[in-house]
Structure 1
Amino acid sequence: MKLTEIAAIGKNRELGKDNQLIWHFPQDLKFFKEQTKGHTIVMGRKTFESLPGMLPKRHHIVISKSGAKFPEEVEVFSSIDAFVDAYQTKEEEIFVIGGATIYKQMLSLCHRLILTEINQSYDADVFFPEFDKNLYHKQILNDIMENGVHYQHVEYRLKSETTRD
């Protein structure tokens, strides 16, 4: 299993507020769709509830202890450990799409981060976890100006990938 965290973050690692994204960039949404389409996406319950519905052409996994009801096509695990046990031998790339707690708990399991780094600060109540950028190779995938805001799609690939696979 290869885990990749994908997120859009502000200058101070802002993710969202009141269980909603705090910006709307059509080009970034298209990028997210292109990256995750055809893959498994894993998220927490609140992130799933914030989606407009099932994201097409993606297998949804939710980590939740709440006992909440989910559509039957959603695979649910009560813990990250249970998810890892079930998927550790699979060869596919799986995208972690949030929220903040899931990002933080799964960061050490991920070989790659794909971050939309937005060159602005926002009022937020959830943040992407801090990570040591020196442990990663950094590659700028896109440099975009949209709606008067500059942002970049950046890939961070773990330098010692072989120790985590």
Structure 2
Amino acid sequence: MLTLIAAAGENNALGKNNDLVWHLPDDFKRFKKMTSGHHIIMGRKTFESFPQPLPNRTHVVITRSDEYKKEGIIVVHSLERAIEHSNEDPQPFVIGGGEIYKLAIDVADRIELTRVHGTFEADAFFPEIDEQQWELVNQEFHDKDANHEFAFTYLTYERK
């Protein structure tokens, strides 16, 4: 089961200049809990936005560059190859960025979306979710508080 996992503003903003435009500690904890022990598929720029590889996860990085190599990660040149390299994991996750989500939404089985309640200036966006293809099966609202500048809702979609 291939799952897209993302946090996006109400205008589908993902980030700007290869960084998030909000800080949501509870969402980071949820992301860590859900993806730990699994393959995480991402584009090169998303991978390079991390100070170091995320612990307890198998990194599968998609790049067009034939020369790109990083110790301890799997480098591939297409989403199809990334999925093939994740076959032994019953629950791989696509974690970004915007272009990779656009490719993967057509083959994914589930979307775990944190909808950040706000509109943000961004240069990367999550694709529109077609409600003819996706069913909202769970949602959990979190209000803003001392640790969270924005309210947000966890949304789980499954392919119809």
Deviation string, structure 1 residues 16-75 (Cα, Å, up to 9, x no partner): 001111111101100111110111000000000001211111000001112454432100
Cα distance 1:35–1:65, how it changes in 2: closer, same or farther (>3 A)?
same
Query: Which stretches in structure 1 are left out of the alignment for 5+ residues?
Result: 160-165
Give the helix-richer structure, 1 or 2.
1
Q: Which residue of 2 aligns with 1:109?
A: 107
Structure 1 counterpart SS, 2:15: strand
| Contact 1:140/1:152, CA 8 A, preserved across alignment | no
| Contact 2:61/2:82, CA 8 A, preserved across alignment | no
Query: Which stretches in structure 2 are left out of the alignment for 5+ residues?
Result: none
Confirm or deny that 1:154 pairs with 2:155.
yes
* Overall identity of the aligned pairs, in %: 39
TM-score (structure 2 length as normaliser): 0.90
Cα distance 1:85–1:31, how it changes in 2: closer, same or farther (>3 A)?
closer
Letter in structure 2 aligned against 1:134 = Q
Q: Distance in 1 between matches of 2:51 and 2:139?
A: 27
Letter in structure 2 aligned against 1:72 = E
Deviation string, structure 1 residues 81-130 (Cα, Å, up to 9, x no partner): 32334445x45111000000000011111000000001100011111011
Cα distance 1:62–1:72, how it changes in 2: closer, same or farther (>3 A)?
same
Q: Distance in 2 between matches of 1:149 and 1:49?
A: 26
* Aligned CA-pair RMSD: 1.6
Structure 2 counterpart SS, 1:109: coil
Q: Distance in 2 between matches of 1:137 and 1:80?
A: 24
Deviates more, 1:72-81 or 1:115-124: 72-81
Structure 2 counterpart SS, 1:27: helix
Q: Aligned residue pairs: how many?
A: 157
Letter in structure 2 aligned against 1:102 = I
Deviation of 1:148 after TM superposition, in Å, equals 4.2
Structure 2 counterpart SS, 1:18: coil
Deviation string, structure 1 residues 121-164 (Cα, Å, up to 9, x no partner): 001111101121232221334211233421111100111xxxxx
Letter in structure 2 aligned against 1:50 = S
Q: Which residue of 1 aligns with 2:93?
A: 95
TM-score (structure 1 length as normaliser): 0.88
Letter in structure 2 aligned against 1:116 = T
Q: Which residue of 2 aligns with 1:83?
A: 82
